């Protein structure tokens, strides 16, 4: 197919994409500009809160993946409100007045960090300064996108930083240890419980890492190539030896949109690299990704990316989330 025909073909797809509320749409407008980094409380600055008898720590957590880890570490001693519901795209979520109220009444607000929650800047800037805002990704070595690797995000904020740290279980071990530190600093009475819960979960994460290494070994080295709907699997690829061939949306955020030329280039890469599958979020726009899969004759494989499944689903905890995705990747590439 000539580039002119390809461009026309994909222009239609982009119109469909823009008209629907899929993951490649621009989504709702961001709340405002500003850097979350200026609002963060360093872990070393946390101080105990005054809790009444039988009162639990009240925490607001941004994503359900972060919430899963925090709940495991906190156990029965904490109450957690999760802002972004299961199945929602964290890149385009918008906070409500009720969310702001929950943040204001919380003992602490816990983020993924690494730039994922820049859309919450305006809301978080309204939270009283005595409520700490904490990034669980403090201490993780973040991946940086080069200028030619990434389309700028909608507001340009943190467009060069990859926030998808959870795709490496060893990064989630950092989350776990940070959670124990945060909760113990805020609630010293349960510090030992938090530390023990974190220790046990670190063991589970180490087991998950070993299992992933074994599963990936089932894929021939030449087949360890990933094409995804957006640049979400960099940490996974770096840890487990995959090549990131390309992405439908060449950006860290699903709020960006691909150009016709970018899609044409991706089509050429898929064919020249012999990539057998296109991995997309469960919440991805089906028209665009299905069209690419059809035109390149590859399998379309759905994964959980920015959110767990709903309770009782196949990926309703972080451990099950990673197992689901790895099994799907191995099944598609180990042929």
- 7 and 135 fall within a common domain: no
DSSP 264-316: HHHHHHHHHHT--EEEEETTS-HHHHHHHHHHHT-EEEEE--SSPPPTTSTT-
- Whether residue 36 contacts residue 121, with contact meaning beta carbons closer than 8 Å, is answered with yes
- 96 and 19 fall within a common domain: no
Say if residue 92's pLDDT is above 80.
no
Helix (H) or strand (E) holding 206: helix 191-216
- 60 and 151 fall within a common domain: yes
Choosing from 211, 245, 275, the residue where a domain stops is 211
CA distance 229 to 238: 18
For the stretch 191-237, pLDDT in tens is 999 999 999 999 999 999 999 999 999 999 999 999 998 899 999 99
Query: Which is more confidently placed, 238 or 11?
Result: 238
Bridge partners of 299? Answer: 277
* pTM assigned to the model: 0.87
The structure tokens listed for 17 are 């994409």
- 152 and 60 fall within a common domain: yes
In a domain, 256, yes or no: yes
pLDDT class of 159 with cuts at 50, 70, 90 = low
Choosing from 159, 180, 211, the residue where a domain stops is 211
In a domain, 243, yes or no: yes
CA distance 93 to 91: 6
- 203 and 234 fall within a common domain: no
Say if residue 113's pLDDT is above 60.
yes
**CATH number reported for the structural domain that contains residue 167 in this entry:** 3.40.50.1980
The domain in which residue 245 lies consists of 3-26+220-333
In a domain, 121, yes or no: yes
CA distance 155 to 294: 32
CA distance 36 to 125: 9
In a domain, 127, yes or no: yes
Say if residue 6's pLDDT is above 80.
no
Q: How many domains does the chain have?
A: 2
Can you give the pLDDT at residue 22? 34
Can you give the pLDDT at residue 7? 42
pLDDT class of 256 with cuts at 50, 70, 90 = low
Percent of the chain with pLDDT over 90: 71
| DSSP E strands, the chain | 57-61, 78-82, 108-111, 133-135, 225-230, 243-249, 277-281, 299-303
- Whether residue 281 contacts residue 262, with contact meaning beta carbons closer than 8 Å, is answered with no
Say if residue 255's pLDDT is above 70.
no
Over residues 94-113, mean pLDDT = 95
The structure tokens listed for 19 are 């008209």
Chain center to CA of 35: 18
Average pLDDT, the chain: 86
For the stretch 290-330, pLDDT in tens is 889 999 999 999 999 999 999 999 999 999 999 999 999 99
In a domain, 246, yes or no: yes
Can you give the pLDDT at residue 329? 98
């Amino acid at each position: 197919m000539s580039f002119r025909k390809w461009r026309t073909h994909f222009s239609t797809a982009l119109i469909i994409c823009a008209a629907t509320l899929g993951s490649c749409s621009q989504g709702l407008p961001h709340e405002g500009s500003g850097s979350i980094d200026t609002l963060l409380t360093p872990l070393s600055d946390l101080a105990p809160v005054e809790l009444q008898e039988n009162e639990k720590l009240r925490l607001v957590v941004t994503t359900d993946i972060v919430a899963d880890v925090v709940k495991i570490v906190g156990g029965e001693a904490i109450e957690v409100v999760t802002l972004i519901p299961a199945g929602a795209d964290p890149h385009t979520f918008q906070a409500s007045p009720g969310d702001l109220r929950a943040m204001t009444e919380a003992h602490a607000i816990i983020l993924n960090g690494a730039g994922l929650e820049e859309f919450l800047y305006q809301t978080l800037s309204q939270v009283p300064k005595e409520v700490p805002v904490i990034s669980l990704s403090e201490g993780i070595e973040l991946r940086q996108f080069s200028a030619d690797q990434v389309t700028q995000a909608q507001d340009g904020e943190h467009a060069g930083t990859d926030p998808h740290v959870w795709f490496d279980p060893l990064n989630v071990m950092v989350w776990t240890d940070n959670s124990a530190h945060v909760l113990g600093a805020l609630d010293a009475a349960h510090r030992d419980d938090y530390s023990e819960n974190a220790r046990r979960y670190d063991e589970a994460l180490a087991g998950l890492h070993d299992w992933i290494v074994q599963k990936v070994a089932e894929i021939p080295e030449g087949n360890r190539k990933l094409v995804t709907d957006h640049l979400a699997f960099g940490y996974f690829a770096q840890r487990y030896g995959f090549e990131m061939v390309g992405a439908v949306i060449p950006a860290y955020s699903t709020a960006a949109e691909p150009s016709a030329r970018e899609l044409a280039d991706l089509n050429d890469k898929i064919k020249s690299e012999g990539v057998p599958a296109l991995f997309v979020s469960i919440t991805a726009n089906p028209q665009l990704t299905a069209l690419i899969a059809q035109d390149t004759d590859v399998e379309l494989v759905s994964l959980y990316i920015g959110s767990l499944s709903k309770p009782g689903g196949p990926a309703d905890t972080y451990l099950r989330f990673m197992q689901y995705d790895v099994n799907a990747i191995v099944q598609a590439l180990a042929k």
